[in-house]
Each structure stands twice: as structure tokens, then as C-alpha cells.
Amino acid sequence: MRLLERKPDSDLVFREVTHNDAAAYAILSHTWLAHNTVEVSFQDTEAGIGKNKAGWRKIQFCADKAAADGLRFWIDPCCVDTRNNTELFRANLMFHWYQKAARCYVFLTDVSAHDGKETSQQHVLHGEAAFRKSRWFTRGERLGSQPTLELIIHETTGIPKAALRGEPLDSLSRDERMSWASQRHTKEEEDQAYSLLGIFGVSMLLNYGKGKEKALK
């Protein structure tokens, strides 16, 4: 697993860790931008460029949060070398990476921060309404929760509270787990199937170009 670490000069550097490394890390849950070219890639990060791309905002957000928590962090656009088939296959492990993270930050591109023009109560009410409508809830590989948000996430996604609290997913029926993906949207239609791999404990070679139905089979 490849993690990012912010150095004292604010530059980001990769750190390779193994499954035997028990070091805690943070992970970012987000929605991909409309065009992959505006995301900060592994190559951009390795070369120390990409700060002018739209995707840099979410990386800066995650780096700030992780630094405050004293953690290294993982973000899929820039921590996975998509030119490497072995790394793409390891993306099967993404569910477990989220599951084992010490912190999971969520970057909501369509929910604005408090601008000071509303009262605290108005901000809470508007913030909750915006949160419920966020595109993040329709992403294929959405994971995780916080106790304070448990009810909202449960009501918006239909995922049982017990599952959000960490109950083993194999205790739930196949049909119930399949239903969680019914309203999900992904860039590649096959990812509507592949986003279920971790939920069902399946590991397989990802094969694009054949459509959602064949991927599900």
C-alpha cells in the first residue's frame, strides 16, 4: 500500500507500507470530477506537480486533516499507478483499506462550508439538507460513517445501522446488500458491479469494456 505523507516544507512524499506495518493511516472518500484529466494522478504527485488542477483541492483538504491527526493518508487518484496492472488488481482491496483506516475523511464537492451569513441553527438545517442531497451518496464505493451522522446515512442510503457500526456484512442477505447499489452511479458501468466486491468478499480481475451485466456475472 502506498501512502502520502506531508513533509515539514508542505511537500507530499510517498511512503510504501506492507500488510505487516501496523501504522495508522487516514483515507479519503470522494466523488471523481467530471474529467479524469483534472484529477491529480500518481504521476503528477510523484513529479511534485498538479497543484493547478481542480482535483488538488481535495488532496489539500485531506493533507490538512491528516496532518492535524498526525497520520499519513491514501487517496485513490494519486496513490494508485493506473499504468500498473498489478496495482489495479490490488484495487480489489480498497474496501479493506477503507475498513482498516484510522480516519475516513469525506470531501463533498457539492456541499459548501459555513460562510458566516447564516445563524448557527440555519447552517445546521441547511447543511443537513445539502448533505442528504450530496452526489457522494450515489458514488459506487461510498463507505463509512460517524455516530453523529448515522441516522442521516441510514435514511439516505438504506444501509442498516448495524452495518454502519461494523457488523459483519455476511450476516446480511445477498439481496439486501445488492440493494445498496441500486441508486449508485459510476463513470464506468462495470464499476457498478465492481464496487460490490468488498461487500461480498470477492476478489477478481477487473475487466472493462464488456458492460455492467457481464461484470455482474
The least confident of 11-15, 45-49, 209-213 is: 209-213
pLDDT for res 141: 47
pLDDT digits (tens, 9 = 90+) for 156-213: 778 888 888 888 888 888 888 888 777 777 777 777 777 788 888 887 777 777 777 7
- List pLDDT tens digits, range 118-162: 444 444 444 455 555 555 555 444 444 455 677 777 877 788 888
pLDDT of 87 strictly over 90: no
SS3 assignment, position 5: strand
Q: What is the 3-state secondary structure (H, E, C) of 101-116?
A: CCEEEECCCCCCCCCC
Query: Which residues have a Cβ under 8 Å from the Cβ of 152 and sit 6 or more positions away?
Result: 128, 131, 132
pLDDT for res 101: 92
